[in-house]
Structure 1
């Protein structure tokens, strides 16, 4: 298995956009990340645990979390090989979160494929998610490239990331369980920052800088950038689920309505729609509706309330302000440019 330095050296020049960066390195980085999934000492351990998790992780999208961890490390002049175990830890945490999230939401599709709890059964899927969680700290502890002080700091970051994500998930699930429709945009932002922005943006960037030996100012600048762009990423994901591209429509299009998700679009509409429209939206969100015409009706209510435009503008403003702050702290380099491009990619996926 190649290391990340070999993989990066295998291209003639550094990609100039975040999208091309993902396309160039998602597959080889995915192979590198998945090399940390072990094999069992008994054949049935592979059948019921390791092999399905490996297959699940192979269908893992664009690998933006490990790739921004590497980019942050390189942007502050570090050796990217020192970031690999951290990148792997965050990506396997992502798998665990998705497996458990799909169970909690009673979801049917993940990246165009039936969810793991439907193909392997509920108990085994929970167990596979637990295994992915167990791979968050282990690779870092055993990393020969990291000194003990760096290992402790990285693990502290990963523990905090896990706690915050679980806190955000508690809000998301609790509001759904209790039929809460009094959620404000500010409530949503608190939930999304905890559930998504830390592990999808802030921690990969901060940890990439930490293992590179960056200054505290650089670490915190990258963390702040990751929080804002990670939140923008989640808002944009919510929008894609409602009014997405052709690619999004092939997946679990408008499943957030079926699952009654309190997204920024929804909570804004609940505050700004007329009384009759609000009551109808609550009715749809509460009914686990799957009829495409009824789902389209819910989206029309949100659009009429100005909620789709509101969420899109919020994400764009977050990203623009974050970019302006980042370039004040991080020195110019091709990898800083990639991170700046990341913010644009996050909010332009609907255009």
Structure 2
């Protein structure tokens, strides 16, 4: 009662307080989101045929999880930009931004409960959330603990491509698989789209790793080779660090540990990734997953043109 009276005395309603608390989230959502989560839900539903209210709910749940994770990612990665504008935490501060993220993750959990009314499904959702945080934590563990204090390059300390894939399954691919699972719980069809969701997730992440280094558009939105500044063990970085090019690998390791924004130094690192074949390898892996997605779409069948389907989910390279 005391807190309610205080809020009333200040002329602040619950709605006003919520708007203030969620300012970082609202700022991010209004900064150019492509609504890919909602589009993907509609994309999956052409096979699952569930009621529109569930498609809308799953799109909202996925969007909340996605936007919330971006808020925290930018803090953990010390990012300056997101979608070409100042990152939310640099405007609102780390504490409020983390609080907004946590609130929206709880809101997504509440929505799963109220919309689906299925204890087993809620349990699976919570399991996904735990694995999401474990996988994100492993990324941070490798970057900020296991490798950060090592002055000398030690290959056995570097995550392998298998480690990369294991983490990816519970992050980018995991979110799409969660969407498929939630929608599938209300479907009366026999179609299994989980394999498709996993393939799309793998393609998304590898494509993101590639574009972060090679795309001018990404440079405008996130900065030049931002993953290298972050010190991220992306696929091309892992590929070079585990290659036979030991001298180049050692130098690349030095650079990613600097967390530098110096364009000349970052260009040197990018040149190493190109020279050791890591960029070419990443391109090939991206094409392999794109081909696998296309084959799965053909197996599932659709009234829409395959190329159009690929464009809807952002696989247009």
TM-score normalised by L of structure 1: 0.77
Name the counterpart of 2:210: 239
Name the counterpart of 2:97: 125
Equivalences for 1:321-332 in 2 at 5 Å? 321-328=292-299, 330-332=300-302
Q: Do the aligned partners of 1:90 and 1:204 also contact (CA within 8 Å) in 2? A: yes
Flag the 1:267–1:44 CA change in 2: closer, same or farther, 3 A: same
Matched, 1:91 2:63: yes
1:306 to partner: Cα distance? 0.6
Matched, 1:182 2:155: no
Task: Report the Cα distance in structure 1 between the residues aligned to 2:218 and 2:237, rounded to whole angstroms.
Answer: 19
1:264 paired residue among 235, 260, 264: 235
Matched, 1:46 2:19: yes
Matched, 1:194 2:170: yes
Q: Do the aligned partners of 1:40 and 1:50 also contact (CA within 8 Å) in 2? A: no
Q: Deviations over 1:48-95 (max 9, x none)?
A: x13442232222521212211122123333332322112111110111
1:300 to partner: Cα distance? 0.5
1:252 to partner: Cα distance? 1.3
Matched, 1:210 2:185: yes
Task: Report the Cα distance in structure 1 between the residues aligned to 2:96 and 2:271, rounded to whole angstroms.
Answer: 39
Equivalences for 1:2-41 in 2 at 5 Å? 41=14
Task: Report the Cα distance in structure 2 between the residues aligned to 1:278 and 1:41, rounded to whole angstroms.
Answer: 54
Matched, 1:223 2:194: yes
Matched, 1:294 2:265: yes
Q: Do the aligned partners of 1:202 and 1:223 also contact (CA within 8 Å) in 2? A: yes
Flag the 1:207–1:335 CA change in 2: closer, same or farther, 3 A: farther
SS at match of 1:322: helix
SS at match of 1:316: helix
SS at match of 2:34: coil
SS at match of 2:108: coil
Matched, 1:165 2:99: no
Structure 1: tracts of 5 or more residues without a match = 1-38
Task: Report the Cα distance in structure 2 between the residues aligned to 1:248 and 1:257, rounded to whole angstroms.
Answer: 13
Q: Deviations over 1:265-301 (max 9, x none)?
A: 0000112252221111011000011111111110110
Q: Do the aligned partners of 2:27 and 2:88 also contact (CA within 8 Å) in 1? A: no
Q: Do the aligned partners of 2:310 and 2:316 also contact (CA within 8 Å) in 1? A: no
Name the counterpart of 1:76: 48
Name the counterpart of 1:314: 285
From the CA coordinates, give the structure whose radius of gyration is larger: 2
Q: Deviations over 1:296-338 (max 9, x none)?
A: 110110011110111111121122123323432x343239875
Task: Report the Cα distance in structure 1 between the residues aligned to 2:50 and 2:16, rounded to whole angstroms.
Answer: 40
Flag the 1:85–1:335 CA change in 2: closer, same or farther, 3 A: farther
Name the counterpart of 2:253: 282
Name the counterpart of 1:10: none
1:139 to partner: Cα distance? 2.3
Task: Report the Cα distance in structure 2 between the residues aligned to 1:76 and 1:58, rounded to whole angstroms.
Answer: 30
Q: Do the aligned partners of 1:165 and 1:196 also contact (CA within 8 Å) in 2? A: no
Task: Report the Cα distance in structure 2 between the residues aligned to 1:170 and 1:127, rounded to whole angstroms.
Answer: 18
Flag the 1:138–1:311 CA change in 2: closer, same or farther, 3 A: same
Kindly tell me the number of residue pairs found equivalent between the two proteins.
Answer: 296
Flag the 1:346–1:132 CA change in 2: closer, same or farther, 3 A: same
SS at match of 2:285: helix
TM-score normalised by L of structure 2: 0.85
Q: Deviations over 1:107-128 (max 9, x none)?
A: 2211112222211111111110
Q: Do the aligned partners of 2:168 and 2:174 also contact (CA within 8 Å) in 1? A: no
Task: Report the Cα distance in structure 2 between the residues aligned to 1:99 and 1:276, rounded to whole angstroms.
Answer: 36
